[in-house]
A and B are shown apart, each in its own frame.
Chain A
Amino acid sequence: MRRARADSLWLLAAVAFVLAFVAAPLGCMALEIVWTGGRLDLTPLGTILGDEHDRRQLLTTVALGVTGTLIATLLGLGHAWVTFRTDLFAARALGAAGVVPLVLPPILVAMAFSDLFDTRGFAACAALLGLCYAPFVAVLAARGLRAISGEAYEAALVARGRAAAERWLLRAILPEVAAGALFAFAFVISEHGVPEFLTVKGKSWHTYAEGIFAKWTRRATGVDHAALASPIVAALPLVALLAVALLVALRLRGRATIEGDHRPLPMRRLGRLRHVALALPLGYLGCGVVLPLVVMGRWAGGSTNRATGVSLERMLESFRLAVTEASGDLGHTLLVGVAATGVLLLVAAPLAWNAARRWPWIDHLSIAPVAVPAVLLGIGMVRAYNRDLFYGFYDHGAILVAAYAARFLPFGVLTLSAAVRRVPRELEEAALFAGRGQFARAVRIHLPLFAPALGSAGCLAMVLALRELDVAVVLPAGNGTVVRRLSNIVHFGGEEMGGALALLLVLAATVVPLLAVILTGRKLRSLS
């Protein structure tokens, strides 16, 4: 009974968190639409898609999402296919590395490409975002390939031949690929930082997230309630589209579960193409990871405009400057990242356990924070907590911790609930017969059983929190984050120190998952 009471309290605390940092901000946004001058006013709802400007932004956003997702799918599926399905040189390491582009903030990748090429226009923006979110497809496609039984593939091979077997295989992993693509789509159309950065370089088109952020930042200079309510209303179809996309992703992913041990798929021999095929994963990782890091390294080394060479002394100086001037930001970012991860796991654990064991609909509800563009969630947080009552909280890093934990909660809930479903209920029930207290059972039985999933969810949350920009630009506490400082470089210069800072941020975001893998003795593959 004590156990049941403690579990209920934990679940109640998690629900309270969701109400406070997901439902309340979104509720405030809803009020923004229908509560004018102290009374209910439903007229803004009638303006859905009525404003030509908003409509154009929405269409551009959807077009960007579709194009970016197509590119992400081509890159991610291609990478997963050649690294998990063929005898490619160093396939295992390259396959695990497929997730690494997720570590780099998209704004950083955009800045690097912008430095090297004339990165302007819709196509470039879509390509960059596709590159940045391809890991979703790569990871889930690889998961799908691991889940397929080698015997089932061979049965198709024997019955219908190689080409038909490969088509069968593609169809078999389609649910996972589609789920990855839909997650990528959700992030691409929510992205505000990269399209806005490209505006600086002379872009003539705008996405929805940019539009609402622009109106939000101009509030103080005359944008009235109606002007702000209009884009929020305009977002409703977008939010609905996102929610449907994510629900479909969830259902598709749920259909493709890994069950039991089976013989893995037979490797396809590439023969003379073995080295040529390396071009795909190397190109993907080169553009998504190596190139941005090289550019940042070059900036740190003093060659910001390529007119001067890289100098080791200037590089050391940049790092010294980054550590002395931005150590506060770096520490703040890491602290917020670690705290957000901890809070996320504490909130996600009871929700995920109950989603897996009692109420599956929790999985579906949990996607709400990702279905809303990050900028909108950030504005909702401001609307909800920029009040006298919450003064200390609103200016404090704690609001950033809560916002990040809320924003990435779906990944924690989905990862953990999938893990709980894989662990037979009997393993937990067997512990009930031991005359041990709840704490002993939690530490000795539950924690080891779910530690790998907790590690994965924690790593993902940490990485996403370290690179999150869209929430940080709205909340005052976000001023002290490294990503915010990096995006300011676009406007105010300081590339040398920015390059060093970016490298330090990527190092921190890489070290955390690697440490988790090393300390838990898990295989490198588990990173993905």
Chain B
Amino acid sequence: MTAIGLNGLVLERQGFRLGPISLELASGSRTALVGPSGSGKSTLLRCIAGLDEPSSGEVRFGGECVSGGRRRSVPPDQRGIGFVFQRGALWPHMTAVQHLRFVEPSIDRDRALELLHRVGLGRELAERRPHALSGGEAQRLALARALAPAPSVLLLDEPLASVDAHLRAELALLVRRLAEDGGLTLVVVTHDREEALTMADRIAVLNEGRLVDHGEAAAMLRAPATAATAAFLNRATCLAVEANGNGGVSTPFGDGPRPAGDGPWSLVLLPGDLEPAREAGVMARVLRCEPDAVGYRVHAAFDGHSVEFGSSNSIRPGDEVRLAPRGALRILPREGGRSV
């Protein structure tokens, strides 16, 4: 069953255009909206939440249109959602328990304490105000506040961005566990690959306001469909390539196969796609060399592009090395530019 449906959603504001985006998120699914800064991830999430009103298109919750269409927009508190803001957005004058009881007046103190316990906040923090909480504790409270009204959809806008690095993995797992336990439909905005893969099963990649790829995270990891997806999920290096007159594309490593469609295309180099070579290939300058389990991981640069390859020998930074692809060249659409 579809929990959230977006149908041709467009938002235009101050020279920025989001969409048109069409997307269906199944009930109980966990989706990460990823992409570079300014790609429209948070704006899309705010449209779903009802904090921003789309210029055109529809947002549907369980089949009911809540934004766009003929009827007036349904206010955020009537959409059955919980929302976690990037910096918590906790109210400085309220204690932890007061936060929960304000958003859900029906819960008593015991239930509030139980909810705080579920997000990892002890009883001793129940009467503290936000300024007396650490960054991680504050974000746990923000999570508890979002869960207090028992929503069916949980929206999180870069929830771990303001949390110390060592706490992020723990909090990401907590979010996932809470979503699984409660059967929640989860949509999380993040620009961190690890967080996305920990919290979500599905990934939606946005670039310059467009949804460029969307699917199962595991499948997208194995076979990214676009250069933008590969760059985010696989940490690939992407080089713009042009069609040549031979029905293929020209790359620094020679001609490659021309994919279907009109382009633009990118040569996608995943970590390990290149190896040192004696003759053909490109010359790259070594930036740094780190030992790993099987030898050395070498970071090098050519033509302003950073690449990574494995080596059995240590190479000094500054040395030049010739690199060639291990197998067939991977040419992908730069971003697809399509509504999914």
Contacts and interface: CB of A to CB of B under 8 A. Distances in A.
Q: Do the two chains bind?
A: yes
Interface of A: 1, 3, 424, 426-427, 429-436, 444-445, 448-449
A321 to B, nearest CB: 47
B51 A432 contact: yes
B87 interface: yes
A435 B82 CA distance: 11
Interface of B: 49-51, 72-73, 75-78, 81-83, 85-87, 89-94, 102-105, 145-146, 149
Contacts of B146: 433
Contact of B91 (A432, A433, A436, A449): A449
Given A1-B72, A429-B51, A429-B85, A434 B102 contact: yes
A434 B73 CA distance: 17
A436 B75 contact: no
Given A426-B85, A426-B87, 15 more contacts: A424-B87, A429-B51, A430-B83, A432-B50, A432-B51, A433-B76, A433-B146, A434-B149, A435-B77, A435-B149, A436-B77, A436-B102, A448-B91, A449-B92, A449-B93
A435 B93 contact: no
A444 B98 CA distance: 10
Contacts, number: 63
A420 B94 CA distance: 18
Contacts of A444: 94, 102
19 contacts: A1-B72, A424-B89, A427-B90, A429-B76, A429-B85, A430-B83, A430-B85, A430-B145, A432-B76, A432-B77, A433-B81, A433-B83, A433-B146, A433-B149, A434-B104, A435-B78, A436-B105, A445-B91, A445-B102
Nearest to A432: B76
Interface of A is mostly: helix
Interface of B is mostly: loop
Contact of B93 (A430, A431, A448): A448
Contacts of B89: 424, 426-427, 429-430
Contacts of B81: 433
Nearest to B148: A434
B273 to A, nearest CB: 42
A46 to B, nearest CB: 45
Contacts of B93: 448-449
Contacts of A424: 87, 89
B87 A433 contact: no
Contacts of A432: 50-51, 75-77
Contacts of A445: 91, 102
B135 to A, nearest CB: 14
B308 to A, nearest CB: 38
Contact of B75 (A1, A426, A448): A1
Contacts of A434: 77, 102-104, 149
A317 B305 CA distance: 91
A427 B142 CA distance: 11
